[in-house]
Chains A and B, each alone.
Chain A
Amino acid sequence: MKLTLRVWRQRAADADGAMSTYEVDGISADMSFLEMLDTLNEELILTGEDPVAFDHDCREGICGACSLVINGDAHGPERTTTCQLHMRSFADGDTIDVEPWRAAAFPVVKDLVVDRSAFDRIIQAGGYVTAPTGAAPEAHATPVPKPDADLAFEHAECIGCGACVAACPNGAAMLFTSAKVNHLNVLPQGAPERETRVLDMVAQMDEEGFGGCTLAGECATACPKGIPLVSITGMNKEWLRATRKVSGR
């Protein structure tokens, strides 16, 4: 396959960026999108140019490190992570636009790399349990109803990649935050911090400069792990419950 790439190049956080055009040839349909970028970078290095910086780690779709908005879609046209997107999703001769996640809370570090530490601070605000849980517990020790376990698992799938923020027209982190809140709030281990968790995480989310939810639904469409939009409804419910309870004390 021969492709034309239009890639966002930005030398540093405070530098101006622009789209640069590159031609890549000899791309196999079985390559992942990141392998295709590796090919481009090898060529750039050979010609003495600065290779395109992009985040990646496990390349198995489970770590949440890779990002990229490809042709306007977070993680590209398939509902998966960029590392699991294969070049067979594109046709020979295509022009592909590659941009970084765009949000005030995710500043560009270089080229396609953005700083997602705002997510870490949201987690630090309440995305944990204080109960000592040790190793995997004996199943009968703390019974968890099946529907609750399913709900927790569904939300625990969130890998914190930030595609929800990138896709949201308001740069909101509601889907990410709601996945963490719902995951822990439904479990007995998360019960002691049920109220403070949602209040503190939402407050931190606002503090970081993420936008608000207008229920456009783009986040859930982009999420490679299929966190549903109704997750946000669940967090709103928890937030209202916590606000009532905490102020009633």
Chain B
Amino acid sequence: MARTVWDSSVGKKTVMAVSGLIMLLYLVVHMIGNLKIFFGPGEFNHYAHWLRTVGEPFMHYEWTLWLIRIVLVAAVVAHAISAYQLSRRDIRARPAKYVHRKARASYATRTMRWGGIILALFIVWHILDLTTGTVHAGGFQEGHPYQNIVDTFSTWYGNVIYVVAMLALGLHIRHGFWSAAQTLGVGSRTRDRALKTVADILALLLTAGFLAVPVGVMTGVVN
């Protein structure tokens, strides 16, 4: 079965849909967690520490977190490889372009590939900035995410990278969520409007929710 799925263009789309939905679910939780920053450093840093102790005493310190990280890495890798292979197939299928070209499809649809690349680069930067601290500006402090976030959004480039990535995320989810529903065969004529509305709401809420943090730092609400 795994072979049938991976060898088929429809199967690879299924891999994209499922891995995309896993990432989407994670993003909703991540975004809600981020908003705790507005309740001050005490609550936010405590929440970050709690993420490492989830499941104790059954799970050892950070086990749950690593389990989530492994699932997420698998989802990102599966999503990216499928996207790369499907895109190659798509580009090969239309070798000669039309002379008379028209602007086609919605902006969200047309920017899926570039948006995906932007998001992949963002994820790398985001982890190096706020998880490992490798490229962090102004002294990374392990266990003090509140201070680290304030540092990042006190730089102009930190804000620019983040805002661009979150706008790309919103567009990506807008087309991606609805598309995943079609790929998984749950879309229908009667459900189409509802699915499009949910996609728009998810895109809007996630973008706004994530952007609230840098806006909070910029306006001094978070400092």
| Chain A contacts to B: CB under 8 angstroms | 6, 8, 19, 69, 71-73, 97, 99, 102-105, 168-172, 199, 202-203, 205-206, 209-218, 228-230, 232-241, 243-244, 246-247
Q: Contact: B178 with A215, CB < 8 Å?
A: yes
Question: 13 A-B contacts, Cβ less than 8 Å apart?
Answer: A69-B98, A102-B97, A169-B90, A170-B94, A171-B94, A211-B92, A212-B89, A212-B90, A232-B182, A233-B186, A233-B188, A236-B13, A240-B185
Residues A214 and B97 in contact, CB atoms below 8 Å apart = no
Whether the pair A171, B93 counts as a contact (CB closer than 8 A) is yes
Is the CB of B124 closer than 8 A to any CB of chain A?
no
Q: How far, in angstroms, from A243 to B5 measured CA to CA in the complex?
A: 8
- Contact between A210 and B179, CB atoms less than 8 A apart: no
Q: Which residues from A are CB-within-8-Å of B8?
A: 202-203, 206, 239
The answer, yes or no, to whether B216 is at the interface (CB within 8 Å) is: no
Q: Do residues B12 and A99 form an inter-chain contact, with CB atoms below 8 A?
A: no
- The interface bits of chain B over 44-69 (1 if a CB of A lies within 8 angstroms of the residue's CB, else 0) are 00000000000000000000000000
Assuming the A-B contacts A72-B98, A104-B95, are A236 and B184 also in contact, with contact meaning beta carbons closer than 8 angstroms in the complex? yes
Interface string of B94-110 (1 = CB under 8 A from A): 11111111101100011
Q: Within the assembled complex, what's the spacing in Å between the Cα atoms of A216 and B103? A: 12
- Within 10-42 of B, Cβ neighbours of A (below 8 Å) are at 10-14
Contact call B99/A230, Cβ cutoff below 8 A = no
Interchain CB contact (< 8 A) of B9 among A102, A103, A206 = A206
Those 5 A-B pairs whose CB atoms lie nearest each other, nearest first:
A237-B185, A211-B93, A170-B90, A171-B93, A247-B1
B147 touches A (CB below 8 Å): no
7 additional A-B pairs beyond A72-B98, A214-B109, beta carbons within 8 Å, are A69-B100, A71-B100, A99-B98, A215-B182, A218-B105, A230-B192, A243-B5
Q: Which residues of A contact B109 (CB under 8 A)?
A: 214-217
A209 to B90, CA, bound (A): 9
Chain A residues within 8 Å of B96, by CB:
102
The listed residue with most B CB atoms (<10 A of its CB), out of A69, A104, A215, is: A215
Residue on B with the closest CB to A167? B104
Among A168, A172, A212, which residue has the most Cβ atoms of chain B within 10 A?
A: A212
Residue in A closest to B190 when the chains form the complex, CB atoms: A230
- Are A99 and B100 neighbours in the complex by a CB distance under 8 Å? yes
- Within 8 Å of chain A (Cβ to Cβ): is B183? yes
Chain B residues within 8 Å of A102, by CB: 94, 96-98
Q: Specify the chain B residue showing the minimal Cβ separation from A215.
A: B179
Query: Does B79 belong to the interface (CB within 8 Å)?
Result: no
Could you tell me the distance between the alpha carbons of A15 and B8 in the complex, rounded to whole angstroms? 33
Known A19-B99, A72-B102: A105·B182 in contact at CB below 8 Å: no
Q: Are B100 and A97 in contact (CB under 8 A)?
A: yes
Which residues in B have some Cβ–Cβ distance to A below 8 Å? 1, 4-5, 7-14, 86, 89-102, 104-105, 109-110, 112, 175, 178-179, 181-189, 192
Asked whether B1 lies within 8 Å of A103 as measured between CB atoms, the reply is no
Complex CA gap A71/B102 in Å reads 9
Q: In the assembly, what is the distance between CA of A99 and CA of B104, in Å?
A: 17
Residues of B within 8 A of A211 (CB): 9, 89-94
Residue from A19, A73, A209 within 8 A of B92 (CB atoms)? A209
- Identify which of B4, B93, B95, B181 contacts A210 (C-beta below 8 A): B93
A154 to chain B: closest CB distance in Å? 11
Cβ contacts under 8 Å, B112 to chain A: 214
Alpha-carbon separation in the docked complex, A163 to B183 (Å):
22
- Chain A, residue nearest B192 (CB): A230
Q: How far is the CB of B172 from chain A (nearest CB, A)?
A: 12
Contact (A169, B94) CB under 8 Å given A99-B100, A216-B105, A233-B187: yes
B94 contact from A104, A202, A244, Cβ within 8 A: A104
Given A206-B9, A230-B192, A97-B99 contact (CB < 8 Å): yes
CA distance A247 to B185 in the complex (A): 19
Residue from the list A212, A217, A228, A243 in contact with B13, Cβ < 8 A: A212
A233 touches B185 (CB 8 A): yes
Task: State A19–B99 Cα separation when bound (angstroms).
Answer: 8
> Nearest chain-B residue to A216 (Cβ)?
B105
Q: Which residues of B contact A243 (CB under 8 A)?
A: 1, 4-5, 11
User: With A69-B100, A97-B100 in contact, is A230–B188 under 8 Å at CB?
Assistant: yes
Shortest A3–chain B CB gap in Å is 15
